[in-house]
Chains A and B, each alone.
Chain A
């Protein structure tokens, strides 16, 4: 679709010149918000492959409820950026059917809380059709949108679905943290032949992270299924993903002041899980804590604990593993309770202190 109006053209030129400018400045890194990184990823992949299109509620003229698709409708038009009627079951189904027929849809959920209305299409159709069609019909699709707790939006808007989706074979589940994660992983997800659930975080959208020239280039893609060591350390391993990475890094800073060096592993992908990186780190630190925003039961931390138990990594541990998770209740609305219902840096600090002292008190264990 041709450009629709001059302002878009100017915007595009501005973007191009910005990019050119930064390229000439080889060593510099540029602060970019997660929102813009996601936007870049979608834009670049739409530019690269005509089969890629975006659909969801308010993604076109309104630029997306969280402005992740800003400018895309103006650039690519109705054919490739589709505002849908309000029915998750409908547009998720449309996306799945379009993928069956050879397109590469990016299906935006305004928040993943609403994806529950469409979960049948994700679990029963997207995840299983390649298998059920005996490898005949791949489903290259990305389901994306904000996941987990925002702020002040209570029980039905503050849930992490990482564990839910990662339970299901056939799906890949990604939970980016930084702008680099967001861009490199979303591009990988769009190019991937399998269905990918891409869990973003509303709180992170507005945060700026430095992005290198390499990460800003349109060739930048990160591998799915590989974790990133955000911070090296020798005393204890903190495994986390998405927003919890922020919590873990803050805790690691504080612990460093006390002489405790944490190794912080940002999982990036929840399924397939990069357990090798976790195991290598345990072999170095001999202590492990998992940090996640979701609920404890059958959660991501629970899965990591089980994998440790089932592997030789277990013998490397000097103390039991501790999970730092969201409180096992629906998210309270009251601000003070909401804060306490999510893992905070002090929770991670306390957990690390206990684990390292090998003092896992009964009353403290959840």
Chain B
């Protein structure tokens, strides 16, 4: 309930802002249509006789909602979410595990053990904050940098590492490039490489939910502020609104699309400003504050399941390089990165909060880091030794039923391998 009153405060502020903005454009004395507004099919708006163009300064910036300050203190007591100890610790542990996994898998790519990797540093707060506010039945469409969401949802470090190594225990049968996770059981749609394709698809899935009688599920779709420049993003916003879909469109605005800073990515008041203009309930939130993200997504979920689509813009900073194919020091200063790894570090903020609540201390921190690190190293070593999936998997699942031509190719390969087995590394592949 604390949450609701906080939001109504926000609503009040935004109402005041909009009425102020409005008042600069309507002059009652020159309103030529009396009290009535124009009734064009495309716009119901007041008439004015003063010509005035709007620009990005015509509106105040959408404010950034936060719960914690940089010291982990709750700023406004009634905004503190009522989360039990177990949930809070799960959230924090997911962040730490994610950091350790990122560190080691990043290095493993540098050493040539896997072909590709992407780290999540700086965005952990958005991951666990949003994941904790969702129901396990809600469907997740991720972009690629949301591993904390998957960890919190229940995907294990072992499954994630097996995916990166493409071994026979990879739930994805070793088919996708590293970090393209997916799990039907955990309601995580397999990650798609082309940017923003997941956005209209998420809305489509939400439409399917909406058609289900007594639907209580929603879809959450993560995307970056760079991906929001794709036509897909506009289409997703538009369809979410026009079809009234149970969907939360969650923008991780981390300041960079590979090397392109957000200042070159868009003009105007960011991604959030597009929400109200397209008929979406919208909020901008501090993405480095896991509790603020939690509150925003929890409330967004309530709206979404009532078929009121929501846009959330979570502000953060991509502390790591874009991917293993990138060195970000070529386009940004170390000082800039430093600021976001110290003061505005989402992991630290939640840790300080937990410490103030007496749920965490230096000792538990040390042992969790060691435990996580050891587990990741061990799992990685195991993953590396595991065999690749059976070669026949290459032909499976292209179609629901394997077409004749593919069957023929598979049998030819089978005959060939039987004959020339010694020339192939068959020992690295699973047998039937």
B173 partner residues in chain A, CB cutoff 8 A:
134-135
A101 near B204 with CB under 8 A, answer yes
**In the bound complex, CA of A353 to CA of B191 (Å):** 54
* B180 in contact with A89 (CB, 8 Å): no
Q: When chains A and B are docked, how far (Å) is the Cα of A192 from the Cα of B399?
A: 10
**In the complex, chain B residues whose CB is within 8 Å of the CB of A194:** 399-400
- Chain A residues near B391 (CB-CB < 8 A): none
A100, chain B: closest CB distance, angstroms: 5
The residues of A that contact B209 with a CB separation of less than 8 Å are 101
Q: Is the CB of A79 within 8 A of B400?
A: no
- Cross-chain contact A193 with B400 (CB below 8 angstroms): yes
Q: Flag the segment in A122-130, A208-216, A247-255, A329-337 that touches B.
A: A122-130
B207–A94 CB distance below 8 A: yes
Residue of B180, B232, B405 touching A272 (CB-CB under 8 A):
B405
User: Does B44 make an interface contact (CB < 8 A)?
Assistant: no
Which A positions have Cβ atoms within 8 angstroms of B?
79, 82, 84-85, 87, 89-103, 105, 117, 120-121, 124-125, 129-138, 169-170, 172, 192-194, 225, 272-273, 275
Taking CB atoms, residues of chain B closer than 8 Å to A129 are 190, 192
Whether a CB of chain A sits under 8 angstroms from the CB of B54 is no
CB distance from B402 to the nearest CB of A (A): 10
The residues in B between 33 and 73 inclusive whose CB is less than 8 angstroms from any CB of A are none
> Which residues on the A side are within 8 Å of B242 (C-beta)?
84-85
A93 to B201, CA, bound (A): 5
Instruction: Provide the residues of chain B in CB contact with A89, threshold 8 Å.
Output: 200, 231-232, 235
Contact A137 to B403, CB < 8 A, known contacts A79-B211, A90-B232, A90-B239: no
Binding site for A on B (CB under 8 A): 139, 141, 171-173, 175-176, 180, 182, 184, 189-190, 192-194, 197, 199-209, 211, 231-232, 234-236, 238-239, 242-243, 396-400, 403-405
Instruction: Name the distance in Å between B167's Cβ and chain A's nearest Cβ.
Output: 13
Closest to B403 in A: A272
Chain A residue with the shortest CB-CB distance to B404: A272
Chain B residues lying within 8 Å of A100, measured Cβ to Cβ, are 189, 201, 204-205, 208
Shortest C-beta distance, A57 to chain B (Å), equals: 13
In Å, the complex CA distance between A339 and B184 comes to 52
The 4 closest A-B pairs by CB, nearest first: A93-B200, A97-B204, A90-B235, A97-B201
Q: Is the CB of B398 within 8 A of A125?
A: no
Contact B207 A91 (CB under 8 A): no
Residue among B203, B242, B398 with most chain A CB within 10 A: B398
B205-A87 in contact (CB<8A): no
9 additional contacts, CB 8 Å, given A79-B211, A90-B232, A132-B175? A85-B238, A89-B200, A90-B234, A91-B200, A97-B200, A100-B204, A124-B192, A135-B173, A136-B190
The answer to whether A131 and B175 have CB atoms under 8 Å apart is yes
Chain B residue, CB-CB nearest to A103 = B208
Nearest residue, chain B, Cβ from A128: B192
- Measured between C-beta atoms, what is the minimum distance from B177 to chain A in Å? 10
Residues A124 and B239 in contact in the complex (CB < 8 Å), given A94-B201, A97-B200: no
Some 28 contacts from A to B, beta carbons below 8 A apart, are: A84-B239, A85-B238, A87-B231, A90-B236, A93-B201, A94-B204, A95-B204, A96-B200, A97-B200, A97-B205, A99-B204, A101-B139, A101-B208, A117-B231, A120-B197, A124-B193, A125-B197, A131-B175, A132-B176, A132-B192, A133-B182, A133-B189, A135-B396, A136-B182, A136-B184, A136-B190, A137-B190, A172-B399
Give CA–CA (A101, B194) in the complex, Å. 20
Q: Determine the chain B residues whose CB is within 8 A of the CB of A275 once the complex forms.
A: 405
On whether the beta carbons of A124 and B398 are closer than 8 Å, the reply is no
A137 to B185, CA, bound (A): 11
Bound: A288/B236 CA distance, A = 48
B305 to chain A, nearest CB (A): 15
Q: Once the chains bind, are A90 and B200 in contact (CB under 8 Å)? A: yes
Contact A103 B234 (CB under 8 A): no
Residues in A whose Cβ lies below 8 Å from that of B172: 132-134
Q: Which residues of A contact B405 (CB under 8 A)?
A: 272-273, 275
User: CB distance A94 to B200 under 8 Å?
Assistant: yes
A133 to B405 alpha-carbon distance, docked (Å): 22
A98 and B208 contact, CB distance less than 8 A: yes
User: Are B232 and A93 in touch, CB under 8 angstroms?
Assistant: yes
Expressed in whole angstroms, the Cα–Cα distance for A193 and B190 within the complex equals 18
Give which listed residue, A92, A96, A120, A170, contacts B399 with CB less than 8 A. Answer: A170
With a cutoff of 8 Å between Cβ atoms, the chain A residues found around residue B234 in the complex are 87, 90
Tell me the complex Cα distance, A105–B176, Å: 26
Q: Which of A93, A131, A138 contacts B199 (CB 8 A)?
A: A93
CB distance from B391 to the nearest CB of A (A): 15
Q: How far is the CB of A223 from chain B (nearest CB, A)?
A: 12
Cα–Cα distance between A102 and B139 once the two chains are bound (Å): 13
Chain A: minimal CB distance from B217 (Å): 9
Pairwise interchain contact A121-B180, C-beta atoms closer than 8 A? no
Which B residue's beta carbon lies closest to that of A79?
A: B211
B397 touches A134 (CB 8 A): yes
**In the complex, what distance in Å separates the CA atom of A275 from the CA atom of B141?**
40
A336 to B114: give the CA distance in the assembly, Å. Answer: 59
Contacts of B205 in A (CB 8 A): 97-98, 100-101
With contact pairs A87-B231, A97-B201, A103-B208 given, residues A132 and B398 touching in the complex (Cβ less than 8 Å): no
Give the distance in Å from the alpha carbon of A102 to the alpha carbon of B189 in the complex: 13
Which one of B141, B175, B238 contacts A87 once the chains associate, using CB atoms below 8 Å? B238
- A93 engages B184 (CB within 8 Å): no
Q: With A131-B175, A132-B176 known to touch, is A93 a contact of B235 (CB < 8 Å)?
A: yes
Chain B residues, CB < 8 A from A95: 204
Minimum distance in angstroms from B348 CB to a CB of chain A: 36
Q: Are A131 and B397 in contact (CB under 8 A)?
A: yes
Q: How far is B194's CA from A280's CA once the two chains are assembled, in angstroms? A: 43
In the docked arrangement, what's the CA distance between A133 and B398, Å? Answer: 11
Q: Which of A85, A138, A272 contacts B239 (CB 8 A)?
A: A85
Q: How far is the CA of A125 from the CA of B238 in the complex (A)?
A: 20
Contact check: which of B190, B194, B207 meets A98 at CB < 8 Å? B207
In contact, B397 and A97 (Cβ under 8 angstroms): no
- Residues in A with CB closer than 8 Å to B243 are 82, 94
Of B180, B201, B242, B405, most buried by chain A (CB within 10 Å of CB) is B201
B204 touches A134 (CB 8 A): no
**Complex: A129 Cα to B194 Cα, angstroms:** 13
CA distance A51 to B78 in the complex (A): 45
| B211 / chain A contacts, CB cutoff of 8 Å | 79, 103
Knowing A85-B239, A136-B184, A272-B405, the reply to whether A93 touches B398 (Cβ < 8 A) is no
B192 near A133 with CB under 8 A, answer no
- How close is A213's CB to chain B, nearest CB, in angstroms? 30
Q: In the complex, which residues of chain A have a beta carbon less than 8 angstroms from the beta carbon of B231?
A: 87, 89-90, 117
Which B residues lie within 8 Å of A96 (CB)? 200-201, 204
Residue of A nearest to B204 (CB): A97
Tell whether, in the assembled complex, residue A169 and residue B190 are in contact, meaning their CB atoms are under 8 Å apart.
no
CA distance A90 to B203 in the complex (A): 9
**Are A97 and B202 interface neighbours, CB within 8 A?**
yes
Residue numbers in B under 8 Å from A98 (CB-CB): 204-205, 207-208
B232:A124 contact, CB within 8 angstroms: no
A102 nearest in chain B by CB position: B208
Q: How far is the CB of B122 from chain A (nearest CB, A)?
A: 28
A85–B240 Cα distance when bound, in Å, is 11
Q: How far is the CB of A87 from chain B (nearest CB, A)?
A: 4
Q: How far is the CB of A357 from chain B (nearest CB, A)?
A: 34
